[in-house]
C-alpha cells in the first residue's frame, strides 16, 4: 500500500488541493485549523492523505498547535516506507513574508524546517506553490521560494520537485504530472 501525503501550514490550501486530486468533498475554510486529523481516501492501490496544518490556528492553544505538529511528524516517520511522495503545499503569495518574519525573530522558518525534514526522511517531496492566481510576478516568486529551500534559481531547473498551482481554480497540471511520474517509478512497490 502506497501513500501520497499532503502537508503544509494551516490555510495554505491542502484540502482544496485534496479535493481537486481525489474528488473527495473534505471541508475547506477561510480560517486556519479546518482539518484537525489526517483524512485518507483510497484510489486504486494508492492512499491520499490530507493532513491537518501546522503553525498558527485560530482559536487553538499553543499546546494544541504543538500536539498537531508532533502528530504530523510522527505520522510521517511511521509511514515513511510507504509514502511515495510528500507534497508540501505552501501559499506562494505569503511564503516569503512569513519566512522573513521568522528569520527576524532568529528562528528557522517552519516551512523550511518541514522541507528539510521531508528530504531527510527521503519522502521524495514536491513543493506545491499554491494560490499562484494571487500573484503577478510568478517566476520571481517561484525563484524566491526555490532559493529559500536550497534550490539555486532559476526555479525551472527544479521543476521535477517544485510546481506552481492554483488548487482553487483546478489548475494543478504541473503537480499532476510530477505525481504521475512518482507513481510510475514506484509501481512495483504499491
Q: Which residues bind Mg ion (CB under 5 A)?
A: 14-15, 34-35
Nearer of residues 16 and 85 to ligand GTP, judged by Cβ: 16
Q: Are 38 and 7 in contact (CB under 8 A)?
A: no
Phi/psi for 87 (5° steps) reads -95, 110
Give residue number: closest CB to ligand GTP.
53
What does 167 bind: Mg ion, ligand GTP, none (CB cut-off 5 to 8 Å by kind)? Answer: ligand GTP
What does 105 bind: Mg ion, ligand GTP, none (CB cut-off 5 to 8 Å by kind)? Answer: none
Nearer of residues 55 and 142 to Mg ion, judged by Cβ: 55
Three-state DSSP state, 170? coil
Q: How far is the CB of 125 from ligand GTP (least distance, A)?
A: 16
Q: How far is the CB of 59 from ligand GTP (least distance, A)?
A: 11
- Cα of first residue to Cα of last residue in the chain, in angstroms, is 5
Tell me the C-alpha distance between 174 and 190, whole Å.
Answer: 23
Nearer of residues 44 and 138 to ligand GTP, judged by Cβ: 138
| C-alpha separations of 2 from 44, 77, 81, 143, 176 in Å | 10, 14, 9, 31, 17
Q: What string marks each residue from 27 to 56 as x (binds ligand GTP by CB under 6 A) or -?
A: -xxx-xxxx----------------xx---
Strand ranges of the sheet holding 39-43, from the earlier edge strand across to the other edge: 39-43, 46-50, 2-7, 83-91, 126-130, 162-164
Nearer of residues 113 and 152 to ligand GTP, judged by Cβ: 113
Residue 164 engages ligand GTP in binding (rule: CB under 6 A): no
Tell me the C-alpha distance between 19 and 39, whole Å.
Answer: 12
DSSP code, position 54: B
Q: How far is the CB of 54 from ligand GTP (least distance, A)?
A: 8
Residue 168 engages ligand GTP in binding (rule: CB under 6 A): yes
Q: Which residues bind ligand GTP (CB under 6 A)?
A: 8, 10-16, 28-30, 32-35, 52-53, 130-131, 133-134, 166-168
Amino acid at each position: 500500500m502506497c501513500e501520497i501525503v499532503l502537508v503544509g501550514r494551516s490555510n495554505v490550501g491542502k484540502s482544496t488541493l485534496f479535493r481537486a486530486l481525489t474528488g473527495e468533498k473534505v471541508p475547506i475554510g477561510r480560517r486556519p485549523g479546518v482539518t484537525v486529523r489526517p483524512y485518507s481516501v483510497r484510489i486504486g492501490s494508492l492512499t491520499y492523505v490530507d493532513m491537518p496544518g501546522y503553525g498558527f490556528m485560530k482559536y487553538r492553544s499553543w499546546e494544541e498547535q504543538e500536539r498537531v505538529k508532533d502528530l504530523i511528524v510522527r505520522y510521517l516517520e511511521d509511514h515513511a516506507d510507504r509514502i511515495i511522495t510528500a507534497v508540501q503545499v505552501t501559499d506562494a503569495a505569503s511564503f516569503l513574508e512569513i519566512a522573513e518574519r521568522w528569520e527576524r525573530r532568529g528562528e528557522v522558518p517552519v516551512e523550511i524546517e518541514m522541507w528539510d525534514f521531508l528530504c531527510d526522511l527521503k519522502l521524495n517531496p514536491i513543493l506545491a506553490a499554491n494560490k499562484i492566481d494571487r500573484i503577478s510576478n510568478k517566476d520571481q516568486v517561484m525563484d524566491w521560494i526555490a532559493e529559500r529551500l536550497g534550490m539555486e534559481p532559476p526555479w525551472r531547473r527544479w521543476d521535477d520537485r517544485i510546481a506552481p498551482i492554483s488548487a482553487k481554480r483546478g489548475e494543478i497540471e504541473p503537480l499532476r504530472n510530477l505525481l504521475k511520474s512518482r507513481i510510475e517509478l514506484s509501481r512495483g512497490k504499491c
